[in-house]
Amino acid sequence: MKVCVVGYGAMGKIISEMLGDDLFLNVALECENKNFDNVKDKIDVIIDFSNPKNLDMIYDYSLKTKTPVVFATTGYSDSELKKIDELSKSVPVLRSANFSLGVILLNKLVKMATPILKDGYDIEIIEAHHNKKLDAPSGTAKMLLKSVLDETGYDVKPGRDGYSPRSKNEVGIHAVRGGTIVGEHEVLFCGTDEVITLKHSAQSKKIFATGAIKAAKWLVGKPVGFYDMEDVLFGEN
């Protein structure tokens, strides 16, 4: 199977190294904000760990060749997300804010806990990343937030400032940036005399590469449609 890795930053390099060691996979191309003009062989699947600016390039090539795409890039605008949804009507597309298998399980646990705890517990989300991360809150924090909002319909409180009491029907979301933190995500359910914490800490970026490769293997051969990592892990579709 031939995999095109779009993006050759830290994650692109890790994925390429891991694919090179896998006897069943072969890196067909490593793009660095370039294009697919020099791709002559058929690509089985694209893994995009680059920048939203590359979306048009990936969209055009995938639509033309019917190549499945794993979108691992974050920071997309609403219009760009709509374009990814549009692509999924013609080719198999998988997008996730996080490819750590542990984070996907964390999100599943949040979905399970929220309807049980929402009436008696305040819910807060905290994420921390390295000082070079551009988007805040992280895509993963937004994913966790969506899981909470889907079950509660609460208002979102980005950070805290000023002088006012906490509203019962709100979810706080907070971003920390510093040093070389790979990624930490924590969901707090704060009740009377007790706190329930669901937390994931990434120790290296390799876990995201492992998940993205697993997703790519899974996506090849799937029907046209939009998928996420819960489909890969739990067979939701």
3-class DSSP assignment, residue 219: helix
Pairing mode, strands 26-31 and 2-6: parallel
**C-alpha distances in angstroms, 29 versus 2, 46, 214?**
9, 9, 18
CB 77 within 8 A of CB 52: yes
Catalytic residue (choose from 129, 142, 185, 217) = 129
Q: Is 129 a catalytic residue?
A: yes
Catalytic residue (choose from 2, 108, 111, 133) = 133
Tell whether the torsion through CA atoms of 84, 86, 92 and 94 is positive or negative: positive
Tokens, residue 205: 């970026």
Tokens, residue 21: 């060691």
Q: Tokens 């889907």: give the residue.
A: 150
3-class DSSP assignment, residue 108: helix
Among 53, 54, 48, 40, CA closest to 93: 48
Q: Is 174 a catalytic residue?
A: no
Would you name the residues annotated as active-site residues? 129, 133
